[in-house]
Amino acid sequence: MFLSTQRQSAKAETALRLQKFKPTRPIYLALFIALGGAVFYFIIANAKLLQSERAQQHQLIEMTNAFTKAYAQERANSGVVPAAFRRIGMEHFGREVGQSSRSREVPVYIRMPGVPGLELETVEQNRQILNYIRAMANSSLPRGKEETRLEQGKVIARKIVPSLASTQTCVSCHNEALGYQAYAPGDVMGAFVIETDLTKPVVQNAYFSLGAFFVILFAALLVVGRENQRMQSAVDALKGRVEAESYAKFLASHDSLTDLPNRKLFLRRLNADVAAFHKGECENVLAVLIDVDDFKTINDTLGHDAGDAVLKKIAISLRAVFDRYGGIAARLGGDEFAGVLKVCPGGLLPDDLGSELLDELCLPFGFKGASIQASASIGVAGLDHLADTGPMQLLKAADIALYASKRGGKRCARVFDRELRKKFGRLSGLTSALPDAIRNGGVRAILQPQVDVATHQLVGFEALARWTHEGQVISPAEFIPIAEEIGLIGQLDLAVLQHAIVLSQRLMETANHEFRLSVNVSAKDFKTDAFVVQIKRVLHTSGFDPRLLTLEI
């Protein structure tokens, strides 16, 4: 079985729908998770480290101030603490803080430069820090600051806290040393500058983060790999489901044997092309009906495999022709095919299309070592030859052309022309008038005598349907097929039966003798139980003896 362009389009659509479900490669997702985890660990670890160092820096300042204050209270006379003593206390507590951090070996440096540069005889070498201390001294609300910087390849956590002139004795001592009135109580005389070298613990945290990266990467590869397999299984299941749905959708509008559009899709295209004709988008619309000649004989003599091969070969040929002109070919069922296409100005003529189709369809082909010569009857109709340019009228015209083609000896193509249009007009008129004729008693019965050839005696009658329309007697061979086609054959048979019973009863009353009555009915009447009920109702109402009635199929 070959694939049609529609089925290929359905598969392409399925592939596009499944692209968004394509599983991510495990290595990329695992690397992303591991990198994120390592960075997160590095940030949190360093944040905790910095928080701890800030607390220790604050503790160092508090310890230094407490030590100096306690010593000053011991010197009750003046309360002045020598600068060298303060320096000794700062160095002592700085060493203690460093020793408490021995496991990390974090160096801690503390100094207390003054504004002019004489506080504790310490001169600040860092111009940026010195400018900041001077800015604090000139501010009415001095504030310290904390910063973490990368200086000379080291990670430095720095804390700067203003040193205020708390007592008059402290102010007098400094003013005397400077030789002028530089300070007053509450002024900024300098600052505590505490620096902690965090290079080594930060590097250690980087190593730990690298180790965490590989641990998380290994774990993520295991988890992501497992999830990827689960997702792949889900995608495969979804893919199978979508493909099944797409194929089911394809089968709903296409023939399973030939992959041609089915009747439903063909009628949809026919309606669309006729609508385009009415909008002036094309010059004409051609409808084609094709019937394989002697298809039953092929099945009976060569087998159903050969019959299927013939249908596939015809489908290929039809698709090639109609694709060439932008139309579609369809299989309506059994050995019946159809096609429809729009014709642009100066485009394809109906006669040319019929000839081209006939040439394509009647080419011999090989099947299991044998050559099969298939043939077809073709009917072509165009909207430009119709008074009523509806899709069903166009299809009916093509059907009339196909019927004429078969009556012409098969293996030929017939175009719906003026002669067939006249016949089509008569057929349309009869189709429109027949329902009223059945309801109003226009279709009546005549009784044809049945005689015993041995005794030459009258034994019964056969009821024959007759219809006179507009003063013209219409042959049953003409109106019976119409009734079957429009679904009124059951009503017609009942109307003929009722009238035949009335006529038969009159004759039996006159002759004082029973006669058998034979009535022709369509085989379609027996497809439902309703017909049997209706026959019983007619017999009950008329009182006719059912033993005298014969129904002929």
Neighbour tally for 518: CB within 10 Å: 18
Do 405 and 378 touch, CB atoms closer than 8 A? yes
Cβ-count burial 375-406 (b if 16+ within 10 Å, e if not):
ebbbbbbbbebbeeeebebbbbbbbbbbbbbb
Q: What angle do CA 125, 184, 134 make, to 5 degrees?
A: 25
Strand partners, 461: 449, 517
Q: What is the pLDDT of residues 238-286, one digit of tens each?
A: 777 766 666 667 667 788 888 899 999 999 999 999 999 999 899 999 9
Report which of 194, 44, 41 is spatially closest to residue 110, judged by C-alpha positions.
194
Residue 10 CA to residue 87 CA, distance in Å, equals: 87
Q: If pLDDT is split at 50, 70 and 90, which confidence band does 100 have?
A: low
Dihedral of CA atoms 61, 63, 64, 66 in degrees, nearest 10, equals 120
H/E stretch holding 294 reads: none
- Higher-confidence residue: 159 or 496? 496
Query: Token pair of 522, please?
Result: 């369509």
What HEC string does 157-172 produce?
Answer: EEEEEEEECCCHHHHH
Integer CA distances (angstroms), 347 to 232, 288, 341, 360, 401, in order: 53, 16, 11, 20, 21
Give pLDDT, residue 97: 55
With a CB cutoff of 8 Å and minimum separation 6, the contacts of 470 are none
Number of Cβ within 10 Å of residue 69's Cβ equals 13
User: What's the whole-model pTM score?
Assistant: 0.45
What's the whole-number mean pLDDT along residues 220-228? 77
**d(C-alpha 394, C-alpha 133), whole Å:** 101
Q: Of the candidates 160, 184, 170, 206, which has an alpha carbon nearest to the alpha carbon of residue 57? A: 160
Span 61-84, average pLDDT: 61
Can you give the pLDDT at residue 473?
Answer: 92
Tokens of 375: 């043939």
Nearest to 115, CA basis, from 90, 137, 98, 96: 137
Query: Residue 523: pLDDT band by 50, 70, 90 thresholds?
Result: confident
What is the rounded CA–CA span in Å between residue 117 and residue 463? 139
Is the CB of residue 402 less than 8 Å from the CB of residue 410? no
Which of 231, 219, 284, 212 lies closest to 36, judged by CA?
Answer: 212
Kindly state the helix (H) or strand (E) to which residue 146 belongs, with its residue range.
strand 145-151
Q: Which residues contact 190 (CB under 8 A, 6 or more apart)?
A: 112, 113, 114, 115, 119, 120, 133, 162, 163
d(C-alpha 391, C-alpha 172), whole Å: 116
Q: Give the CA-trace dihedral at 309, 314, 320, 325, to 10 degrees.
A: -160
Q: How many residues does the chain have?
A: 553
Q: Give the pLDDT score at 91.
A: 60
99 — pLDDT class (breaks 50, 70, 90): low
Instruction: Name the one residue in this structure whose structure tokens are 């797409």.
Output: 246
Q: pLDDT category, 28, cuts 50, 70, 90?
A: confident
Q: How far apart are CA 138 and CA 150, in angstroms?
A: 28
388 labelled catalytic: no
Distance separating alpha carbons of residues 185 and 202, to the nearest angstrom: 42
CA-angle at 329, arms to 326 and 334, nearest 5°? 180
Query: How deeply is 277 buried, as exposed, middle or buried, from its count of CB atoms within 10 A (0-12, 13-18, 19+)?
Result: buried
1-11 pLDDT, tens digit per residue, is 334 455 555 55
Q: Which of 197, 293, 335, 399 is catalytic?
A: 335
Other C-beta atoms closer than 10 Å to the C-beta of 59 total 13
Question: What is the tens place of the pLDDT at every residue in 430-460?
Answer: 888 999 999 999 999 999 999 989 898 999 9
> Which strands make up the sheet holding 413-415, listed edge to edge?
328-333, 336-343, 284-292, 376-382, 413-415
Which tokens sit at 233? 């299984």
Tokens of 343: 């014709």
Q: Looking up tokens 């905790």, which residue turns up?
A: 48
d(CA 501, CA 518): 10
Q: Please report where in the chains the tokens 């011991």 appear, as a residue.
A: 74
Predicted pLDDT of residue 224: 74
